[in-house]
Chains A and B, each alone.
Chain A
Amino acid sequence: MKYSFEWLKDFVDIDITPRELAERLTVSTAEVIEIKEEDDDTILDLEILSNRGDLTSHFGLARDIAALLNKELKNIEVAPLKLTTEEKITVKIQDKNLCPRYSAVVIDGVQIKESPLWIKKRLEKIGIRSINNVVDVTNYVMAEIGQPLHAFDFNKIEIKGLQKNTKKPQIIVRRAENNERITTLDGIERVLDEEMLVIADVEKPIALAGVMGGANSEVDEKTTKIIFESAHFNPDNIRKTSRKLGLRTEAVERFEKYVDINLTSLALLRAIYLLKEQCPEIKVGELIDIYPKKVYPWKIRLNLARVKDFLGIEIASEKIKKILESLGLKPFDYQSSTFDYFIPTFRPDLQNEQDLLEEIIRVYGLDKVPETLPETKVKEKIPKEILLENQIKDILTEIGFFEICTFTLLKKETLDNFNLSTIDSSSFWQIKNPLSNRREYMRPSIIPNLVETLTENIKNFALTPGKDKVKLFEVGKVYFKNKKNQAVEKYRLGGLIFGEKRDEGFFVAKGIIEYLMNKLQITSYKLQTISQTSYSTIYHPFRSAELIINGKSIGIFGEIHPSILQKYELSKRVCCFELDLDEILNQLSVINYQLSVPKERSVIYKPFSKFPPSMRDLAIIVEENIDNQKITEAIIETDPLIVDANLFDEYRGEKIGYGKKSVAFHITYQALDRTLTDEEVNKVHQKVIDVLKEKFLAIPRI
């Protein structure tokens, strides 16, 4: 929400710069997200917290500033109401929960024109478009004291039946009917439902309560008689309506955070005062105020001893008095050890003593709080499952595994690919409101994540099948429902081995399982053909085995079923294993493992390209004494598209000539944002040749 520095100064003497003020506010009141100089003013954009509706106006923010800077808060100027016309309306509130208070006043003899320059400027600086003098006054009062107002054209409101005689239009505050329609001031027709509140005449809705007025009752250049509405609406209902319709307005921003219910009449008086300054001839009607359940200030007691006990800092009681009083709290009893206050109704967020302690410290200064540590002691050990998890991570990373971390939510098609959805999907957890990425099932296995990580790496050219080898693992949870529909979360270790010779993969996996058992000091294990109860659709039926410890099935390892590989277009065999860590824990009597802390590393991440690289080889003849490293560096420095250069051959001999050598490099060309064309690569490659010719007098070999 935007605030003008000069406007704030209407209510408080600010003797610091806007930038200094912004720093104070950010720490104590609300984060200032932008500071903009404009004309001879500075505009501050603040992120108002959702429980601080009292700050959504210049006057409200000025109150907090006065407390922070230890200054006086000035008053808002209004004039006493003098009745000059008999014109009035009747108001009927049908839903008093959604509208606990409705105040309104009729004003006749209005001349619609442009607002005075100073009002237009102030509004425009804080992002509110100037419309005409009446609408601008409603917006001005809202920005100034926080109460959203609305102006209706009196003559556009339907009068029927009995009302015709009295000429008193009736305003009805009611819930909309389902599918009832209203065209709002922005010209868009809105379809309403019965959760939404409207302001209506006897015929039709004339405004979407607390959100936006209706086009049918809009004030225009012909308007002479208006109704000013100043009401209080339920914050949650306003927020919901606004969200459902995708319509956020300045009024919503305030109502959804709670506007002081005792502000409506003051706002009307202020609006009348401002309008009268421009149109002295206006006639003001009786102020209607429907406010059945009055809200009064409430009491909170502050025990002074709590300040030190709870905040950890000593604050003088005079200072405490000063802070709380300047925030608008009304003291009614000051004792030596307790202070009693009435809390003003604009601060519904203050409900208990702890809330007062927060007020004290945020104004006093969070930076003044010292640093201590709690003396609390609880005797705890690192849980076994965390030790086992980390021990396994140590073991596997020491034999070349990459640890991965993947999403625990899977797509339906992934389950289908692994033939998992056909088995027992009723025991899987399915999200009711998935995102458009369609990840909706909590994984029942880590294997799909491993295989998809592999295929993604191939797709993104991080890995070349037939050339590269890789080993991946993840330790994480899998999720099931038990018979009582409760969540069962189990720890698993999943691993993947890729790139081994076709008939060796299984035995590499077997070797890893045995190595792992050995490292965990589990000796009584068996590897056997998979029993009926453990049958898995994931694995190759004749190239997989089951790990048994003391008669308990711990998991399966082996080749992934070829039909799954086909779905992922994997032409090379993949081996996986998945072990139940909860079961392994049950089998371990002790864990001989101490959590080691990783070495401090200050690696700075380097972006990499996911577009296919192009390779070119280059052989050159140079003087024997030229350092190959220097040549490599020169190649890489030639152009940003060169991501790597590797020496792969060096030769000396008679053909080359005495004192010379031939060196050959693999050069990798790749762009961060696109696939390079041959033409592009050739051009840069030629550049490399030219550079080497110049720097090292190199002769390219063909």
Chain B
Amino acid sequence: MEEQLIKIREEALKEIAMVIDMTGLDSLRIKYLGRKGKLTSLLGQLKNLSLEEKRKIGPLANQIKREIEGKLKELKEQLKEFSLQQLEKEKIDINLPAIGPQRIFGHFHLISDFKRRLINIFFEMGYEILEGPDIDTDYYNFESLNIPKNHPAREAQDTFYFDFNTLLRTHTTNMQAHVMKQKKPPVKYVVIGRVYRRDDDPTHSFMFHQIDGLVVDRNIKLSDLKGVLTLMIKKLLGQEVKIRLRSSYFPFTEPSLEVDISCILCQGKGCGICKNTGWLEVAGAGMVHPQVFKNVGYNYKKVSGLAFGAGIERLIMLKHRIDNIKLFFENDLRFLRQF
């Protein structure tokens, strides 16, 4: 009996310490001191004891009962003081400016962020990652790529020249001959870097970024090109995006293709951005032209190659609905902060 009393006391005190509101308090009172409460029923058994035992346990039982009653009363006072109504008087506005440590996270530039995604996608697929030189020669930028002297792209109005032979690369495709002249097949790389065009109007920037990929091996197929493009675009812009290949012309590929995606804004239904066609042009691609292989000393009868290139800003603009390419290079904090 004595042991039981001590156990109930410990149990009750422990539970009282955990009570946080009136409801909890009431249920505890009932549990221990109610008509069928634990303590009440134990006390009820006192009358069955011998006188000697009564004398010994009686005071202890009363002491415990008083103690629990006291604790519950104390708790009740406390709960009154910290009641919701009371606490509400101290309500603060959580929207007031924070004090203390300033926000320490800065921002990656969007282009940098996107470059990282690209590196990751292609590194996982086993591509070499390159950047290549911005300042290059006519040979690598044009001649080696089967762009004849009289090709419109060669004219000075599209290219920045330092002298008759040295220029700013107009595309990252300049790396094709650099790499292929240096190593034997197989070749598998992407270049990500800056390119320059003599073009500066509201929709063009004279400097922007491109990604350019090349895979050369025995039996590289057009279907491989389609597979790589689809994978890249879906990983960058979402699995739901559809891809369309369109016949085109570049001097360094044959066949040459434009790569369209279903319009991200209207899901291909037709809107202002896709000029009601449902499609947006995002990349150029093709199978390496035999002349390019001849130029770098590869046997075009033994190897074939896939190549593709895309403007990075264009892809980012589609992804984040950015309407002006100039924003990337103005570096306005109100722009940078958004991403």
The answer on A and B forming one complex is: yes
B112 at the interface (CB under 8 A from A): yes
Question: Is B249's CB under 8 angstroms from A51's CB?
Answer: yes
Question: Is B119's CB under 8 angstroms from A595's CB?
Answer: yes
The A-B contact count (CB < 8 A) is 269
| Chain B 115-139: CB-based contact to A (< 8 A → 1; otherwise 0) | 0110110010111111101111000
Interface residues of A in 412-466 (CB under 8 A from B): 429-437, 439, 442, 453, 456-457, 460, 462-463
List residues of chain B with CB within 8 A of the CB of A378.
Answer: 126-128, 186-189
Q: What are the nearest 3 A-B pairs in CB distance?
A: A312-B223, A312-B221, A358-B255
List residues of chain A with CB within 8 A of the CB of B96.
Answer: 647-648, 650
Q: Supply 9 A–B pairs (Cβ within 8 Å), ascending by A.
A: A311-B223, A313-B222, A362-B247, A378-B188, A386-B129, A398-B104, A408-B194, A431-B160, A432-B160
Bound: A607/B322 CA distance, A:
9
A380 at the interface (CB under 8 A from B): yes
| Chain A 667-688: CB-based contact to B (< 8 A → 1; otherwise 0) | 0000000000000000000000
Interface-lining segment among B9-17, B20-28, B327-335: B327-335
Cross-interface CB contact of A27 among B157, B246, B321, cutoff 8 Å: B246
- Count residues of chain B with CB under 8 A from any CB of chain A: 100
| Chain A 368-404: CB-based contact to B (< 8 A → 1; otherwise 0) | 0111111111101011011000100100111111111
Kindly provide the distance from the CB of A663 to the nearest chain B CB, expressed in whole angstroms. 8
Cross-interface CB contact of A311 among B222, B331, B338, cutoff 8 Å: B222
B200 at the interface (CB under 8 A from A): yes
Question: Is A309's CB under 8 angstroms from B231's CB?
Answer: no
Cross-interface CB contact of B231 among A373, A406, A629, cutoff 8 Å: A373
List residues of chain A with CB within 8 A of the CB of B161.
Answer: 431-433
A332 at the interface (CB under 8 A from B): no
Chain A CB within 10 A, most for which of B111, B328, B330: B330
List residues of chain A with CB within 8 A of the CB of B143.
Answer: none
Question: Is B129's CB under 8 angstroms from A380's CB?
Answer: yes
Question: Is B321's CB under 8 angstroms from A432's CB?
Answer: no
Given A377-B126, A400-B102: A406 touches B329 (CB 8 Å cut-off): yes
Given A310-B304, A598-B117: A608 touches B102 (CB 8 Å cut-off): no
List residues of chain A with CB within 8 A of the CB of B314.
Answer: none
A366 at the interface (CB under 8 A from B): yes
A542 at the interface (CB under 8 A from B): no
A262 at the interface (CB under 8 A from B): no
Cross-interface CB contact of B249 among A49, A436, A489, A603, cutoff 8 Å: A49
> For the side of the interface on A, what is the size category?
35 or more
Cross-interface CB contact of B254 among A240, A354, A601, cutoff 8 Å: A354
Interface-lining segment among B35-43, B63-71, B212-220: B212-220
A111 at the interface (CB under 8 A from B): no
Question: Is B134's CB under 8 angstroms from A605's CB?
Answer: no
A632 at the interface (CB under 8 A from B): yes
Kindly provide the distance from the CB of A462 to the nearest chain B CB, expressed in whole angstroms. 4
Interface residues of A in 324-339 (CB under 8 A from B): none
Given A312-B222, A312-B224, A376-B188: A366 touches B245 (CB 8 Å cut-off): yes
List residues of chain A with CB within 8 A of the CB of B106.
Answer: 396-403, 471
Bound: A352/B293 CA distance, A:
13
For B150, the closest partner residue in chain A by CB is: A236
A604 at the interface (CB under 8 A from B): yes
Bound: A30/B103 CA distance, A:
53
A90 at the interface (CB under 8 A from B): no
Question: Is B221's CB under 8 angstroms from A429's CB?
Answer: no
Question: Is B109's CB under 8 angstroms from A405's CB?
Answer: yes
List residues of chain A with CB within 8 A of the CB of B125.
Answer: 373
B54 at the interface (CB under 8 A from A): no
Question: Is B162's CB under 8 angstroms from A376's CB?
Answer: no
List residues of chain A with CB within 8 A of the CB of B244.
Answer: 27, 367
For B135, the closest partner residue in chain A by CB is: A487
List residues of chain B with CB within 8 A of the CB of A628.
Answer: 93, 95
Kindly provide the distance from the CB of A420 to the nearest chain B CB, expressed in whole angstroms. 18
Bound: A50/B120 CA distance, A:
36
Bound: A557/B48 CA distance, A:
92
A141 at the interface (CB under 8 A from B): no
List residues of chain A with CB within 8 A of the CB of B329.
Answer: 405-407
Cross-interface CB contact of B333 among A236, A380, A463, cutoff 8 Å: A463
A606 at the interface (CB under 8 A from B): yes
A409 at the interface (CB under 8 A from B): yes
